[in-house]
Chain A
Amino acid sequence: MPDPGELRDLGRSPERIAMYLHGRGWNPVGVAGDEILWALDDGGRRWEIVLPLSPDRSDLARRLGEVFAVLGAVQNRRPAEILRDVRSAGSDVLKIRTLPRTRSGTAPIDDALGLIAASKDLLLAAATSIDAPRAVLGSRKPARATEFVREVRLATEPGSFVVALETTVPPDWAVAEVLALAGSLVESGGQVESDGLFVLPVSPFPRAVTTRTIDAASAAVSLAARIVDGEADVAAFDDLVSRGVSANFLEALAGIGGGEGALERNTGVDLTVRWAYSRTPPLGRPATIAFPSNVFPVFATAASSLRARSPEPDVTLVGPIIRLQRDNRTGDTVTMVATVGQGRSRRSRQIRLVLNDEHHDLAHAAYGERRIVEVRGDLQSGPVLTMNPVRSFVVR
């Protein structure tokens, strides 16, 4: 049985329990004082529970304990597991499960930190691609994408090593109605879209990101499997850009796989979505996407391929000029050192700058005075990392 303190805490948000019950097919059938009677018809058998709404009741924990006992019996699950689901009932939850060769619930610290960083990059890439789907996403992300990622909540769960990413999704009209009937306030922090009659097909941004992540990951793993089987080429990833696949997204997936040496440390990864009970789930999406170990190197290769063929727009770099070379054939070459990349792939690199005359003079001065410069422009991969064109050049 869940801890009484946890139950009392949950009892302060009865709307979460109501949302969960509604999402699991229970119907509110009666009201008395601060109690709602819920019923579930299960193949001709009727289950009943009484949900207390007042957080001040002295028997709150006991009554909620009974609610979870019944839910556990109906679902054949441990009440503590159900309580975890109820806590996040208003959120889409993406669970990334890795199978490290360590005790269940643990992972080597570097792998765990890498997984968390890659998980954040994955969501940021998916969120960014909604507004601006590109093969390589710019370092400046749309404001609502970065705000969205800031609102994501991370938890770990037992069972192998599981990172759960929770994003709150405002309720739709159908759920808002049941919450109102349950006599509870909707404390969603979001808008309830309703014309008073129908469920509107408006998808809030957090739900759009979850959907985008699932769609892009599903498409990426299918294509990677075909590439492993020799049925497709990495260039085919270009066709998935409109579906949210980008070099950034693929790098994040590769990072989730654990990077180099992952095959020895990790026997597989899967991505599971549990849609928020606050909203009707989208149709036709897989609940779980399994990533065999052999797709991760494909993701890394495909990301490099996309980067090599597509400039990364609007990148800002900061660092010193380390070389000025005169070349009669290609003109003057200016090279700087700066940190590029994201997450695990973040490292210091030499970058060739293609400058106009004005910027060229500034570069000479900065080099002579050993000053740091800040440049902004499109970054092109290849044998030599190049910023071309450089749109802004500032000596600090």
Chain B
Amino acid sequence: MLDLDQRQGRYGEHLVQLIVTSAGYTCSKPDDTGDGVDLVVSRTQHDGDSPRPPNVEFQVKTIRNPTLAGGKLVYDLEVAHYNCLRADGPTRRYLALVTVPGQNPDDWHDHSQHYSIFRDAVFFVDLLGFPRTENRSRVRVKAALTDRLVPAVVDDFMRRAERDYSRRFRPIGWSRHA
């Protein structure tokens, strides 16, 4: 049986995967390579399975006691993860903040004959280009309550990534020897 922290963490990741899949993209959990990427979103190649560049990556944090400040959801993010998310790189990364209602997992979901509900919500934060921090441990980040991660948003992220990808690569004038 997973302990509460593990259960909350995986619940949040699965919730994000559900949203991504709803948007029509593939979403996988990569091996832990120490840079805080929890999920990779990609299109698929012709086989409908293997990833086709470009990707969008998510770091997922799940909160069971969400705090609001100034009408925004706040989260104290580890500095190392903050730096990964704010740095410019070939792959776009976002922070996904999942809120669950309290410490009782039975309250996190509900269902009837006609629906299943997984509570509460997923928000996103785009930290690209944020300033350096002098903090040593954690940095407070904020998500607007309007920045909900929903399938349409995922689709928008992917379309943007696709446009950047097309622009980014300078063609190579190379031809194979006959």
Contact = CB atoms under 8 A, between A and B. Distances in A.
Given A48-B52, A69-B50, A174-B177, A59 B169 contact: no
A199 B177 CA distance: 9
Given A48-B52, A70-B51, A31 B35 contact: no
A181 interface: yes
A87 B49 CA distance: 25
B30 to A, nearest CB: 5
Contacts of B131: none
Residue of A31, A32, A59 with most chain B CB atoms under a 10 A cut-off: A59
A35 interface: yes
Contact of B174 (A27, A33, A65): A27
A28 B174 contact: yes
Given A35-B90, A70-B50, A30 B31 contact: no
Nearest to A175: B177
B170 A32 contact: yes
Contacts of B33: 4, 58-62
B169 A62 contact: no
Contacts of A66: 42, 50-51, 53, 55
A33 B51 CA distance: 21
A290 B55 CA distance: 46
Interface residues of B, number: 31
B47 A58 contact: no
A112 to B, nearest CB: 34
B169 to A, nearest CB: 3
B87 to A, nearest CB: 9
A45 to B, nearest CB: 5
Nearest to B55: A66
Given A35-B90, A45-B46, A66-B53, 6 more contacts: A32-B170, A50-B54, A60-B33, A62-B31, A69-B50, A70-B50
B163 interface: no
B168 interface: yes
A219 interface: no
25 contacts: A28-B172, A29-B172, A30-B170, A30-B171, A30-B172, A31-B170, A32-B90, A32-B169, A33-B168, A34-B90, A37-B169, A47-B46, A47-B52, A58-B34, A58-B84, A59-B89, A60-B33, A62-B31, A62-B37, A62-B40, A66-B53, A66-B55, A70-B52, A72-B50, A73-B47
Contacts, number: 85
Interface of B: 30-31, 33-35, 37, 40, 42, 45-47, 49-55, 57, 84, 89-91, 168-172, 174, 176-177
A65 B170 contact: no
A178 B91 CA distance: 25
Interface residues of A, number: 36
Contacts of A45: 46
A236 to B, nearest CB: 41
A50 B35 contact: no
Nearest to A69: B50
B53 A48 contact: yes
Nearest to B90: A35
B31 A73 contact: no
A58 B45 CA distance: 24
A31 B30 contact: no
Contacts of B91: 59
Contacts of B170: 30-32
A17 interface: no
A30 B31 CA distance: 27
Contacts of A34: 90
A52 B90 CA distance: 10
A27 B176 contact: yes
Contacts of A181: 172, 174
A32 to B, nearest CB: 4
Nearest to B54: A50
A49 interface: yes
